[in-house]
Structure formats: C-alpha cells, structure tokens
Amino acid sequence: MPTPILLLRHGQSEWNAQGRWQGQADPPLSELGRQQAFRAAARIGSVDIIVASDLERALHTARIISEQIGVGPVVIEPLFRERDAGEWSGLTRDEIAAGWPGFLEEHKRPPSVETDESLRERTTEALANVEREYSGADVLVVTHGGLVYEIERGHGQPFERLPNLGGRAITLHGDRVEVHDRILLVEGDDITTVPAQI
C-alpha cells in the first residue's frame, strides 16, 4: 500500500538566523521559526502521523504543528537527524572559508563531516521504519535540509536551496521511493533568507 510522506524542513533556528552550520548541534527555534511553524500548520492539510527528528528545531516545529492540527503525539525518529557537520558545526561560511580555503567552492568536506554514504544509509533506514510502522498512512516527517537534499540527489533532482518550512513530497512503495514536487508552507516575510546549511 503506498505511503505518502511530506518531508518538511524545520522552522528557522537561532543558528539559521546567525548563518551558522548546525549539523547535529541542537540550537532552539528562533521566534520567527516558531511563527513559521504556526503559520505552516494551517497549510499542512490532512495527515495521520507526525514523525520528527529528535533535534530540538525539528521536534519543536513538529509539536507546534501537532498541537495546531490535533494530530499526535509526535513520533520521534533519531535517524531523521541532520547530517553531522563535524568540526564545522557552529561556524559561519566565512569562518569555514578562512579555516578550510577552497573547500566550500570545491564541495569538499573535512573527514569529521558525515559522508553521503552514511547519510544515505541512515535515510533509507528511517524511511523503511516509517513504511513498516505506518504503511498506507499520510505521514508528515519534520526533518532537516541535508536529509531532503540526499533524497533529491539520489533521485536525480538538481540541487536547490530549501527554505525553512519547505519540503518535498514523496511516496513509499515498499522499498521504492517516488519523488514528487517541492512544497513551500510559508511565504513572503515568513521565509528565512539565510541559505539552508547542514
């Protein structure tokens, strides 16, 4: 039975607002991020289950949406965490450029950053858990930009920055993933202008 999922990036965090790479660090939502989650809830539509990363910015976003639409409790799945940013966690792009010249432009990462392969395996396992537990349900997964990018890359989608409360619709057919359109749940002044970072 097909399982439709909306993979949704969390609301703006305090570090998003400062332009800092987060990875698996755990800064809270900013005030704008909380407001984004409230506004997004009105556009979610009907879902049966809400699953979230265990990181505060995703879990808080999910709980706000859960309270607003009356679906819960939120199921926590740590496998939906952001890519580990290693020693880049907490740094701005300028700080990374100063410490690792050329890395960002050449799409290189230090060894401490989680590899594409590791993120892909973790994402596959997380989706398999959702399929096993909630097959056929309409599922909202509140997660992180890096995880959405990994799914998109694995399905031939071109890279494009994902704003906070932006997402990608997918459908699980057993172990096959069908990728659909991106969805943006906030507009105008509610959109975070700082680029998504791991």
Is 121 noted as a catalytic residue in this protein?
no
| pLDDT of 197 over the 60 cut | no
Active-site residue among 60, 77, 82, 114? 82
In this prediction, residue 195 has a pLDDT band, given cuts at 50, 70 and 90, of very low
Burial of 168 (0-12, 13-18, 19+ CB in 10 A): buried
Three-class DSSP category at 127? helix
CA distance 27 to 85: 14
Q: What are the domain boundaries of the chain?
A: 3-190
pLDDT given at position 116: 94
Q: How far apart are the first and last CA of the chain?
A: 33
Each residue of 35-75: pLDDT tens digit?
A: 999 999 999 989 999 999 999 999 999 999 999 999 999 99
User: In the annotation, is 10 catalytic?
Assistant: yes
To the nearest whole percent, how much of the chain has pLDDT over 90? 92
- What pLDDT score does 193 carry? 44
- CA dist 193 to 61, 108, 187, Å? 18, 24, 11
Beta bridge partners of 170: 5, 179
> Does residue 26 register a pLDDT over 60?
yes
Give the full edge-to-edge strand order of the sheet including 166-173.
75-76, 49-52, 139-143, 3-9, 166-173, 176-184
Q: Which CATH number fits domain 3-190: 3.50.30.40, 3.30.420.40, 2.40.240.10, 3.40.50.1240?
A: 3.40.50.1240
Both tokens of residue 83? 């890519």
In our burial notation (b when 16+ CB lie closer than 10 A, e otherwise), range 73-83 reads ebbebebbbbb
CA pair distance 22, 89, nearest whole angstrom: 5
pLDDT value, residue 187? 81
pLDDT tens string 156-189: 999 999 999 999 999 999 989 999 999 999 986 5
